Amino acid sequence: MARISKTERTLNLISFLLKSPVPVPWSEIKGKVVGYDDKADTATMERRFERDKEFLRALGIPLEYIPLDKFGNTGYFIEKADYYLPKVRIAPEDVAAIDLVSRMSLGNVGPLREALQSALQKLQIDFPAPFGIDAEAEERKIKNQSVQTSDPEGSENLDLLFDAVLNAKRVRFRYYTMGRDATSEREVEPYGLGFTRGAWYLAGRCLTRKDIRVFRIARIRGPVHFVHPDGEQEFQIPADFRLSNHIGKPAWQLDSGEAVEVQVRLDSHIAWMAARSIGTADSFEGAHDGSGVLTLRVTAVEPFIRWVLSFAHHATVLSPPWLRKRLCETVGGVAEMYTPSS
Amino acid sequence: MKPPASEKTVRRLNRILTMIPYIRQHPNMTVADLARVIGCTPAELLDDLSRRVLLCGVPPYLPNDYIDVHIEGDRVSIRFAEHFKRPVRFTMPEALALRTALSSFTDAPGPKHLLAKLDHLLSAETKKKVASVRGRIGFMDHPLSVLQQVEEALRSKREIEVEYYTASRDAMTTRALRPYGTVFHQGHWYVVAYCLRRRKELPFRVDRIKAIRILERTYEVPKGFDISRYEREEMYLPVRGDKEVRIRFDAHLARWIREEVPPGSIRELDDGGIVLHLSTAHFDWLIGWILPFGRHAEVLSPPSLRQRLLEASRKTLDSYGVP
């Protein structure tokens, strides 16, 4: 008899357990379910079963073992109510939301991508029309699967860090610091992962620097390793840790320098746009003509200057005076650079 | 870490366990349509059905103990699979991914509904695990409600009217658009649309849309339209244009720029600086990108862009009352 595939064997096992109203002992599986009925020795058979149980767990199948009787026999059981996805009533407005999520899953969303697509496929069964997710999007997705692996090392690192965050496991990697143009070895307790401005970042306690630091995943050089590959949970995350305090902050809060209060006047062209990107510590006062004044707490002066200048003459710093002077010097330098020498 | 072979098996099993209940509920769909819904190729779908599902049974393996896959022409139905009547509940990563994606739409009404329902779909254990990492993995940039309206228009194929900030004319414009698709690129959402004002297909940055209104007029997306043309790795989205630009960055900036641009477009200089060469359809986005670098970045050509930067810097100095 030809050896049957792992997929087929596992499917048979799931079928058998799902159809059984009572727990089934290993002896009912061994020698009976196709895939467990060949001439392999007991040890091989048990290893096979252990591996298949891992598959079931990875698939989210609630497999339990339940003591059958006073002799300590155990039986395997799938609780049906925990297996079957309840019926979801999907409203039309949900469909637009799912479309968006589906489109996002086409983009660079790292380790969540596959899980997101799998979740959306499960939801398909309750969609009002067979093509809840539009056909073009689905086609694009298939086309894109080859495009997505442009940075295999980066995505492997991200997968591992995702695991490390979920299971609170320490990691070790070499990190390139752009500001110092230097690479160094880091040991980190990974607290959280955030996707912002088109890139993934890790926030965690750097045991090398003894402080919470943010790392851009693309600047990790070489593979990320677990410090203890087999260990259990290795650290507690401080109760006051908030990912949003570290990742995705406005540019002017990126450093932890001393806070300076800055006022910026925005003209009516861009005031509404700039006001969308301010942080919680900032305020915006709009005038009836569409212009407005932003009051910001700036801890990172250089990134702030770059942000303001990206609006050119539409944004003008009102105070403090020294910052106005800095901006004028910078822009003055640019004007000089492009002024034709007579 | 699991070896890749196991991951492949899990992926395939997952697909099969999702596919069986779907086909049961939607009998006689074509293989091509099913493949789209399931997210695989028609060949993979047929392979799964004929080489795996068809052989799936339970002891004592009498004819009715096997799942019956019926393929007639290109249409598929399944019988004797009552035990696979629904997909498996969400796994922890699936629930987390769904929650993360949905909760990033903070100001849109739709996702909140679905988000509220999500908890009912999780087993008690998954719910607990998801809660334990809540707020620690996420998309930090929140897409705008404008985007959801674009999606609604796209679904119902209705034109939209937007108030859009056009950097080139430094003005708000009101224009009617026929959205063809949306792209999430380098952290920004774009809607690719036919602009009835400019009479051509253009990408629009969603965060530059100040206001949006869905109109009654409907439209069709042209047959040949392919959104994947816009899904590129480069730092800027606007379709490659014919305007050639050369910018010199000094040694201080060079490494930051190298991280953002494709290596082929860079020439290294002896002093540690670089010259970036790019072609673009218009200059607007370049002004706001280059001006903030001050003297560390200089446009070498074309002269017209140098002139634009001179004007932009003088106007900015003006706003500070510097003559």
Task: Locate the chain B residue with the closest alpha carbon to A238.
Answer: B136
| pLDDT of the residue at B110 | 58
B158 in contact with chain A, both atoms CB, cutoff 8 A = no
By DSSP bridging, strand B137-139 and strand A182-196 are: parallel
CB pairs under 8 A between A and B: 363
Whole-angstrom Cα distance, residue B182 to residue B176? 16
CATH 3.40.390 given to domain B145-230: no
Strands (E) in chain A, as ranges, are 24-25, 63-67, 74-78, 171-177, 182-196, 199-206, 211-216, 220-226, 260-266, 283-286, 292-298, 315-319
Range with the lowest mean pLDDT among A100-114, B276-290, B303-317? A100-114
Q: What is the pLDDT of residue B280?
A: 79
> Cα distance from A73 to chain B (closest Cα, Å)?
21
Mean pLDDT in residue range A322-330: 96
Residues 6+ apart with CB under 8 A from B265: B276, B277, B278
CB contact B144 to A (< 8 Å): yes
Q: Could you read off the pLDDT of A155-200 as tens digits, one per residue?
A: 778 878 988 998 899 999 999 988 888 999 999 999 999 888 777 8
Instruction: Give, in words, the CATH class of A6-83.
Output: mainly alpha
Given the candidates 2.60.40, 1.10.3470, 1.10.10, 2.30.30, the CATH classification of the domain at A152-242 is: 2.30.30
- Of the residues A76, A118, A160, A180, the best mutation for testing chain B's interface (the one with the most B CB atoms within 10 Å of its CB) is A118
On the 0-12 / 13-18 / 19+ scale of CB atoms within 10 A, B60 is: exposed
Question: Across the interface, do B227 and A141 touch by the CB < 8 Å criterion?
Answer: no
| B43-100: pLDDT as tens digits | 999 999 988 888 888 888 888 889 889 998 889 999 888 999 999 999 988 888 888 7
The minimal CB distance from B87 to the residues A122, A162, A328 is found for: A122
pLDDT, position A144:
42
pLDDT in tens, A58-96: 899 999 988 865 555 579 999 999 999 999 887 766 776
- A281-300, pLDDT tens digit by residue? 788 998 999 899 999 999 99
How far is residue B204's CA from residue A38's CA, in Å, rounded to a whole number?
Answer: 62
Residue A57 has pLDDT above 80, yes or no: yes
In the CATH hierarchy, which top-level class contains the domain B4-84?
A: mainly alpha
| Rounded average pLDDT over A224-243 | 89
Residues 6+ apart with CB under 8 A from B30: B74, B75, B76
Domain ranges of chain A: 6-83, 92-150, 152-242, 251-338
- Report the residue from B140, B184, B231 with minimal CB separation from A247: B140
Model pLDDT for residues B219-266, shown as the tens digit of each residue? 999 988 887 777 665 545 555 567 889 999 999 899 888 887 776 788
Which class is domain A251-338?
Answer: alpha beta
The chain B residue lying nearest A32, using CA atoms, is B59
Q: How many CB atoms lie within 10 A of CB A231?
A: 12
Global pTM value: 0.76
In chain B, where the domains are located: 4-84, 92-132, 145-230, 243-319
**Highest mean pLDDT out of A11-20, A135-144, B228-237:** A11-20
